[in-house]
Amino acid sequence: MKVHQFFFSVLLGAASLMLSGCNQHTLFRNGASEYSIVIAPDAPESEQYAAQELKNWIAQVSGVELPITDLQGGQAGKRLVVGYNAITEELVPSAEKPSDRDDAFTWCNEGGDILFWGGSKRGTLYSVYSFLEEELGCRWYSSKVSVAPKRETWSFGTLYNHEEPSLMIRDNCVLDVRNQPVFSARMRNNFVKLPSLDGKGTIAGTAEGYWGVHAMGYFISPGEYYAQHPEYFSLIDGKRQESYAQLCLSNPEVLSICIEKIKQKMREAPDYLIYSMEQNDNMRPCQCEACQALVEKYGGESGLMVWFVNQVADAVKDEFPDKFVGTFAYQYTRHAPKDIVPRENVVIRLCSIECCMLHDYDDCEQNKSFAQDLKDWSAIAPHLYIWDYVTDFLLYCLPTPNWKTLQTHLQDYVNGHAIGILEEGDYQTPSCEFRELRAWLLSKLMWNCNADVDALIMDFTEGYYGAAAPHIREYLEMEDRILRREGMHTGCYATVAHEMYSPEFIREGRRIMAEARAAVADNPELLKRVEKEELPLCLLQMEHLPLEGIESGADTMFRRVIQQEGISQMTEFQPNINATSYIESFQKIAEDINNAPHFPAMKAEVKGEKGVGYTRYEGTFKSTAEMLANGKVVKRGTMPTIAIEEDENIDHFGYVFDAWLKVEQEGPHQLRVATDDGTVVMLDDKEIINRDGSHSPQTQTAIMNLEKGFHRLCIRYFDDHEGQVLDIQLTASDGYKGPLPEERLFLVE
């Protein structure tokens, strides 16, 4: 975007507001209008589509169906002129005819006529949408929720707006946009083609596409080539690799096959702008001498990649002067090369997968290396394209408070000359936290990276959540305050165990959401939208504070929202962890609490000191019973709480811990043990957890009703070989949640 033009249009917008005192033209009044929508007879289908949208939305606002006629139809001064045509030339002679694929647009009036134009493929349509939003108050908050405020009348004096996008290609890669072409166009995302007017296909040219991803493996697949030509693939440890390989880029035959195949693809599928010539999704580049000599020469693996892709770009340039060859700066090719620069018709797709989403690029230790790469690439690459990550792919619904950095990261991309962006969100499942708000905000920011985020959030929340809006904003501010607190960082692969998700956050979140629900209790549709946003909190509460979760109905709300929204998949790669598995595990917790055994206190009072007694064993055993029978006692003593020696070089040892556990408040208590290798937990001489045996880390949970007073806790642990883990988490009925606290453990006299 040319920023000065944006501000210019803002100023003109303000001027038009000031002039609106003299609204001498009336588009409609009391269900009647003298206006027609006018369109050239040879207007492309995309502009006919724009005229249809203008007609439909004006009808929803006013109740008037305006006729659509050709340029001779309609009465001068009472026309809505859609598309750049003879009337535009006549009334606005200073306007130049835009190129078909230009997304910039203008709408303005000349007397009583209103003119809408931009590039015929999308710009004109965006002009119509912008007018409907700015002047008539229409909103498209999601593919399902649109707003067309009813009006008795609408008049105007001076109208003018001109906008240009911040980025040429805007790909909001979430389910509700990628799979919803109508909504996608309304959001001015241009990665998905418009549906044709007869609803049977799509309209050519209405998207700016990036063909393919990781396409090197598609052009030269091991299935097709490995048997005859193993030398086309990565040499690793002296062997040409068949699977999880990259291509041997220094091999001239690899280059000529890639050139032929990408040309073929450009001929077969000509409607794209950029064609992938991108590395496969693994970290195993070729180690052969010729490849590594080029890596050395050009300052890293990206140098070899650019050397290769430049040759492809040179070979396709004459036949396809308007197309780009795209390649990755991803993982092992993320750092920019030296002594080589990408050609003019090469697009470098830089991926932010390692970045912290909570902080600006210049403002976070974890982002420094990416920030440098972004600067280095923008200094040498004529065209950058960003693959950005905006949600949590290990569990889509986890709270990800990147509300501020969605904008600052985008601004950095635009300042680094990015021409396009793929914002990867919940592309597989409708389960991302605040998915509609996130998608809407991203669409608005991809169009104008300098838009006012607070104003956008205000607009969305008021329109989408109704009376719950102030509470939703309070929640978003709380997320920002508590989850982005000092020392917190998160990338796109956080788990429920991330320390951001503290009891304080969960409790505060559910408190605010309860107020939000109460505010819309009489409106079932809005209540559904609010409850949906509580899903992550319900899940976190059941995971971290299950006793409170069951008491507050987090398990039933979780199940209800999952069913209402039709959510099944919840993570990108782990099919076994899905909505059903969570529902089942929460059901089990509810049953365990209902059936929790009662433990009367063994003592009302303990006079001894704080601490835990332990006996350390050494020896090779396969269970704690074997340890007790055959292990050698090497030490006895006391420690403040239960802990084992954690050192990867130490194997074949074990402990028996013995202590009084002080219970502050009668009620359900949960103990959760993660152990590698085996652990057995006895409470008041009853076995409550048994994860004995030699194994990698496993967890087990026990829930008991404990009487106030002292309970005897005896834990046997052993390590066989390799990793050793003993992590015990207590959730108490008085609200405590965390490791066994020192102040509740007392020595057994």
Compute the least distance from the CB of residue 51 to Zn ion, in Å.
Answer: 48
Nearer to Zn ion, 168 or 288 (CB): 288
Residues 363-382, one symbol each (x = binds Zn ion by CB under 5 A, - = not), give -x------------------
Neighbours of 705 (CB within 10 A): 16
Give the separation between CA 400 and CA 501, rounded to whole angstroms: 10
Compute the least distance from the CB of residue 302 to Zn ion, in Å.
Answer: 15
Nearer to Zn ion, 250 or 675 (CB): 250
Site for Zn ion contains 216 (CB under 5 A):
no
Environment class of 642 (CB within 10 Å of its CB; exposed 0-12, middle 13-18, buried 19+): buried
Q: Which stretch binds Zn ion (CB under 5 A): 103-111, 194-202, 356-364, 417-425?
A: 356-364
Nearer to Zn ion, 189 or 502 (CB): 502
Compute the least distance from the CB of residue 500 to Zn ion, in Å.
Answer: 11
Compute the least distance from the CB of residue 605 to Zn ion, in Å.
Answer: 48
Give ∠ CA 492-671-689 in degrees, rounded to 5.
Answer: 110
Residue 261 contacts residue 269 (beta carbons within 8 Å): no
Nearer to Zn ion, 103 or 412 (CB): 412
Give the separation between CA 654 and CA 614, rounded to whole angstroms: 10
Distances in Å between the alpha carbon of 614 and those of 558, 679, 681, 686, 717? 42, 14, 14, 19, 11
Nearer to Zn ion, 488 or 639 (CB): 488
Neighbours of 8 (CB within 10 A): 13
Nearer to Zn ion, 356 or 661 (CB): 356
Site for Zn ion contains 489 (CB under 5 A):
yes
Both tokens assigned to 673: 């043990």
Strand order in the sheet with 68-69: 68-69, 36-39, 79-82, 113-118, 105-110, 160-163
Nearer to Zn ion, 192 or 306 (CB): 306
Nearer to Zn ion, 286 or 702 (CB): 286
Nearer to Zn ion, 220 or 596 (CB): 220
Both tokens assigned to 219: 């052009």
* SS3 state at 141: coil
Strand order in the sheet with 667-676: 598-599, 698-706, 667-676, 725-731, 737-739
Q: Which stretch binds Zn ion (CB under 5 A): 183-191, 201-209, 445-453, 488-496?
A: 488-496
Residue 102 contacts residue 164 (beta carbons within 8 Å): no
Nearer to Zn ion, 89 or 362 (CB): 362
Minimal CA–CA distance to 616: which of 585, 638, 593, 590?
Answer: 638
Compute the least distance from the CB of residue 722 to Zn ion, in Å.
Answer: 32
Compute the least distance from the CB of residue 242 to Zn ion, in Å.
Answer: 15
Site for Zn ion contains 288 (CB under 5 A):
yes
Nearer to Zn ion, 123 or 303 (CB): 303
Scanning residues 504 to 563, which ones bind Zn ion (CB under 5 A)?
A: none
Give the separation between CA 668 and CA 429, rounded to whole angstroms: 35
Site for Zn ion contains 12 (CB under 5 A):
no
Residues with Cβ within 8 Å of 336's Cβ and at least 6 positions away in sequence, in order, are 302, 329, 373, 376, 377, 379, 380, 381
Nearer to Zn ion, 100 or 360 (CB): 360
Q: Which stretch binds Zn ion (CB under 5 A): 16-24, 205-213, 280-288, 527-535?
A: 280-288
Q: What is the DSSP letter of 96?
A: P
Distances in Å between the alpha carbon of 160 and those of 25, 108, 134? 15, 4, 11
Q: Which stretch binds Zn ion (CB under 5 A): 351-359, 397-405, 512-520, 565-573?
A: 351-359
Compute the least distance from the CB of residue 231 to Zn ion, in Å.
Answer: 8
Nearer to Zn ion, 215 or 356 (CB): 356
Give ∠ CA 710-712-716 in degrees, rounded to 5.
Answer: 150
Compute the least distance from the CB of residue 489 to Zn ion, in Å.
Answer: 3
Nearer to Zn ion, 231 or 684 (CB): 231
Compute the least distance from the CB of residue 367 to Zn ion, in Å.
Answer: 6
Compute the least distance from the CB of residue 358 to Zn ion, in Å.
Answer: 5
Both tokens assigned to 349: 């797709």
Site for Zn ion contains 291 (CB under 5 A):
yes
Compute the least distance from the CB of residue 286 to Zn ion, in Å.
Answer: 3
Q: Which stretch binds Zn ion (CB under 5 A): 3-11, 25-33, 201-209, 249-257?
A: 249-257
Distances in Å between the alpha carbon of 353 and those of 68, 330, 367, 393, 492? 48, 8, 11, 11, 7
Nearer to Zn ion, 355 or 593 (CB): 355
Site for Zn ion contains 356 (CB under 5 A):
yes
Residues touching Zn ion, count (CB under 5 A): 10
* SS3 state at 80: strand
Phi, psi dihedrals of residue 234, rounded to the nearest 5°: -50, 135
Site for Zn ion contains 359 (CB under 5 A):
yes
Nearer to Zn ion, 159 or 248 (CB): 248
Q: Which of 286, 309, 516, 671 binds Zn ion (CB under 5 A)?
A: 286
Beta strand 272-276 pairing with 209-211: parallel
Compute the least distance from the CB of residue 356 to Zn ion, in Å.
Answer: 3
Site for Zn ion contains 659 (CB under 5 A):
no
Site for Zn ion contains 25 (CB under 5 A):
no
Q: Which stretch binds Zn ion (CB under 5 A): 67-75, 349-357, 414-422, 630-638?
A: 349-357
Compute the least distance from the CB of residue 291 to Zn ion, in Å.
Answer: 3
- Report the Cα–Cα distance between both ends of the chain, in Å, rounded: 75
Q: Which stretch binds Zn ion (CB under 5 A): 183-191, 284-292, 502-510, 579-587?
A: 284-292
Compute the least distance from the CB of residue 307 to Zn ion, in Å.
Answer: 12
Compute the least distance from the CB of residue 355 to Zn ion, in Å.
Answer: 8
Q: Which stretch binds Zn ion (CB under 5 A): 119-127, 243-251, 260-268, 456-464?
A: 243-251
Scanning residues 617 to 646, which ones bind Zn ion (CB under 5 A)?
A: none
Compute the least distance from the CB of residue 439 to Zn ion, in Å.
Answer: 23
Residue 647 contacts residue 655 (beta carbons within 8 Å): no
Minimal CA–CA distance to 369: which of 381, 356, 379?
Answer: 356
Site for Zn ion contains 229 (CB under 5 A):
no
* SS3 state at 171: strand
Compute the least distance from the CB of residue 222 to Zn ion, in Å.
Answer: 15
Q: Which stretch binds Zn ion (CB under 5 A): 54-62, 145-153, 285-293, 347-355?
A: 285-293
Site for Zn ion contains 248 (CB under 5 A):
yes
Helices (H), 277-430: 289-297, 301-317, 368-380, 405-415
Distances in Å between the alpha carbon of 501 and those of 364, 537, 583? 20, 9, 20
Both tokens assigned to 57: 């939305």
Q: Which stretch binds Zn ion (CB under 5 A): 290-298, 425-433, 538-546, 739-747?
A: 290-298
Compute the least distance from the CB of residue 485 to Zn ion, in Å.
Answer: 11
Distances in Å between the alpha carbon of 544 and those of 120, 496, 555, 586, 670? 54, 8, 13, 12, 10
Nearer to Zn ion, 409 or 473 (CB): 409
Nearer to Zn ion, 76 or 497 (CB): 497
Give ∠ CA 345-347-348 in degrees, rounded to 5.
Answer: 145
- Amino acid symbol at 224: E
Beta strand 239-240 pairing with 235-236: antiparallel
Question: What residues line the site for Zn ion (CB under 5 A)?
Answer: 248, 250, 286, 288, 291, 356, 358-359, 364, 489
